[in-house]
Amino acid sequence: MPTRGHVRPDHVDFVQTARRVLEEHGFDPDFDDAVQAQVASLRGAARPDGAGARDLRGLLWSSIDNAESRDLDQVEVAEELPGGSIKILIGVADVDVLVPKGSPADTRAQHNSTSVYTGVAVFPMLPERLSTDLTSLNDGADRLAVVVENVVTPNGDVEHFEVYRAVVHNKAKLAYDDVGAWLENTKAGTVQPPALLAKTPGLAAQIKLQREASQRLKAERERNGALELETIEATPVAKDGRVVDLKLTHKTVARDLIEDFMIASNVAIAKWLEAQGRSGIRRVVREPERWARIVDIARQYGATLPSAPDSLALARFLAARRAADPERFPDLSLSIVKLMGPGEYALDLPGHDPGGHFGLAAHDYSHATAPNRRYADLVTQRLVKAALAGAAAPYTDAELGELARHCTEREDAARKVERTMRKVAAALLLADRIGTTFDAIVTGESVKGTYVRLLHPPAEARVVRGEQGMDVGDRVKVRLIGTDANKGWIDVERA
């Protein structure tokens, strides 16, 4: 295959390029006049009284998120119970109360269906005044929330779950990196707690209790065959409008904690709607179609997997590889993720099983904890609120099926936009390194082409010469032969 040439622009406007790529994939990057008028008409956050909401403002709620995040979807609090169980409460922002079904903001949110993160610029599903202010669970503010309650036993079982509306008050906005570093070094005492954690009475003990609950939940999921993966995510870093680096985001104890709580909440919501005899939207990850290739990769490490998809066997193999070679484990994780394929949304009818989540080893799973940035979560929130009120469902089954299909399609498109923008950033960084040889891992192989991810920097490239015989998971050496930052093209050949 001929190369696509080398184009080295003097300057690429990253934000304008992102807008163009968004539009090419069917997204609307702007909010029209009707949406702007709706937002301007709002006098403030929803009144936190009435609607049958419990007043839980006295609890020691806190949030843990990225330091720069302002669209806070959830807050958390835990309580130790007699007998050793821990009750965890997750408050999810009540977005529906200010974004009613069929309103201009809702119509636009449904069209895009997700916020899109391009690194340097974020294109939110909802206007920022809604997502980062009036519905965000900001510290120091009273907010309406849908609370998901789980009681976790010492062995990690969830023996009770409940869903209800409440008024919450975030006492502390904490950051992943600070909390993670503190939790990882708590026993050694080498890292002081974050300032906000230290000055808020009882919060340090609260976070440690949450950590204990999350570890119980994770251990139980792993016993059931949940996959513990760790892929490297690269985010463009800009300075004076130019991309100067790719920043890697690694998993931390604090990120794990929130992930464990979100998984438990999403499982509880799916089960709760089913118990109410209500239809919903499930998040489904089916058995890997390329299981044979996963078996082949395991064999290269001296491990044997069964011939049929088995999440528990795969989980044990991955755990062993993480322990044996933690530095290269993200590369193996990437191969497994690519071979498993993407998830999808599916209509969940009472008495009808749409499928489970292979990666989480969960039979019942929804997306319900991020209504500020995922439309499927906002739809689920409306279904939950209707059930709580004893009201008719706000969507017919046919509408839910169509929404599931649309949200899946939009999520796939958002992934393509984000991948393209990572490639634009990487092409800018690599423009001066034509002829350099890189270590890489094969991430895709099909009639559309063969793709690899360079290990340093973590950039995705297309193999345009010498790709014969390559398959997902192979470690290869490639030589950079061309870039085009305007299009996000990085071309390599087998070295």
Tokens of 429: 């960084």
Output the CA–CA distances (angstroms, integers) from residue 329 to 263, 358, 470, in the order listed. Answer: 23, 20, 20
What residue spans in the chain does CATH classification 2.40.50.140 cover? 1-30+432-495
pLDDT category at 189 given cuts 50, 70, 90 is low
How many other β-carbons are positioned within 10 Å of the β-carbon of residue 239? 8
Question: Residue 1 has what pLDDT?
Answer: 43
d(CA 425, CA 12): 9
Going by their DSSP bridges, the two strands 158-175 and 61-65 should be labelled as parallel
Select the more confidently predicted residue: 109 or 453: 109
Q: Tell me what the mean pLDDT of segment 220-243 comes to.
A: 80
Place of tokens 């690694």: 250
Place of tokens 């071979």: 339
Distance, first Cα to last Cα, the chain: 16
What is the phi/psi pair of residue 36, to 5°?
-60, -40
Contact 198, 245 (CB under 8 A): no
What does the buried/exposed string (b/e) look like for 143-154 if buried means 16 or more CB atoms within 10 Å of the residue's CB?
Answer: bbbbbbbbbbbe
CATH T-level fold of 1-30+432-495: OB fold (Dihydrolipoamide Acetyltransferase, E2P) (2.40.50)
pLDDT category at 5 given cuts 50, 70, 90 is low
* Closest among 46, 119, 130 to 372, alpha carbons compared: 130
Tokens of 325: 């070679």
Lowest mean pLDDT among 22-36, 233-247, 309-323, 463-477: 233-247
Q: Tell me what the mean pLDDT of segment 72-87 comes to.
A: 97
Place of tokens 């209707």: 386
d(CA 458, CA 417): 17
Question: Residue 4 has what pLDDT?
Answer: 57
User: SS3 for 56?
Assistant: coil
Contact 425, 243 (CB under 8 A): yes
Per-residue pLDDT of 313-341, as tens digits, reads 999 999 999 999 887 888 889 889 889 88
Contact 56, 40 (CB under 8 A): no
Looking at the chain, the whole-number percentage of residues with pLDDT higher than 70 is: 96
Q: Tell me what the mean pLDDT of segment 429-444 comes to.
A: 91
What does the buried/exposed string (b/e) look like for 402-429 if buried means 16 or more CB atoms within 10 Å of the residue's CB?
Answer: ebbebbbebbebbeebbebbbbbbbbbb
Cis peptide before 457 (omega within 30 of 0): yes
Per-residue pLDDT of 111-150, as tens digits, reads 999 999 987 789 999 999 999 999 999 999 999 999 999 9
Going by their DSSP bridges, the two strands 344-348 and 437-446 should be labelled as unpaired
What is the phi/psi pair of residue 161, to 5°?
-140, 155
Q: Is the predicted pLDDT of residue 234 greater than 80, yes or no?
A: no
The mean pLDDT value of the chain amounts to 91
pLDDT category at 368 given cuts 50, 70, 90 is very high
> pTM for the full model?
0.91
Question: Residue 2 has what pLDDT?
Answer: 47
d(CA 359, CA 83): 31
